[in-house]
Amino acid sequence: MKRLFIIHGYNAYPEKHWFPWLAEQFPQLQTTSITLPNAHAPQLDEWLGAVQQAIGKADENTYIVAHSLGTHTTLHYALTQTTIGGVILVSGFAEKIPHLPILDNFAHPIDDAYIKKTIKKRIIIAAKDDNIVPFSCSDRLAKRIDATMIAQETGNHFMQSDGFTTFPLVAKTLEAML
């Protein structure tokens, strides 16, 4: 059976933004929204441990949709696996964000070649007007890991406060990926 994991970001939780809506869109999948500890003061080792505990060993039937800092966590998780079916990284990044030094403990190097070998399908969705994770960060990551980039002119950081309690683009992209 195909499994879907939804991974939130900094200052978020599974019931926020468009995450509950997405979980309801795929009743045919075994879907889990992962709660990450200390979302207001995140630590990579804690978040990675929570993801590893929730997912366990990934395989070609494992799919992950992650948002913001959850994308960075997803990439670190992928470094501990041998195969992942696919990931959709929304507002994805894998570097320091200058105006968010609280997140610097996540900025460990990512082995791009290993990511490309391990994650079979890689897609990044990012908005050019994102004021939290600059679009250039998402674009650099897409190029580094040979991910398909779906660039949106607007959408900011795709949060509830940006009007995103649903996100049909993510659902459509995931459906095509499956």
What CATH code is carried by the domain that includes residue 55? 3.40.50.1820
Average pLDDT, the chain: 97
Q: What angle do CA 43, 82, 47 make, to 5 degrees?
A: 10
| Share above pLDDT 70 across residues of the chain, in percent, rounded to a whole number | 100
Give the residue-averaged pLDDT of 108-115.
Answer: 96
Q: Which residues are part of the catalytic machinery?
A: 68, 130, 157
- Going by the DSSP 8-state scheme, the letter that residue 58 receives in this structure is -
Given this model, what pLDDT does residue 25 score?
Answer: 97
What's the pLDDT tens digit per position in 115-165?
999 999 999 999 999 999 999 999 999 999 999 999 999 999 999 999 999
Given this model, what pLDDT does residue 51 score?
Answer: 98
Structural domain that includes position 142: 3-177
pLDDT band, very low/low/confident/very high, at 9 (cuts 50, 70, 90): very high
Q: How many domains does the chain have?
A: 1
CA distances from 22 to 15, 43, 47, 76, 172 (A): 11, 26, 21, 23, 10
pTM of the entire predicted model: 0.97
- Going by the DSSP 8-state scheme, the letter that residue 24 receives in this structure is H
Residue count of the chain? 178
What's the pLDDT tens digit per position in 66-90?
999 999 999 999 999 999 999 999 9
Residues with Cβ < 8 Å from 77, sequence gap 6 or more? 48, 51, 52, 55, 58, 64
Given this model, what pLDDT does residue 43 score?
Answer: 97
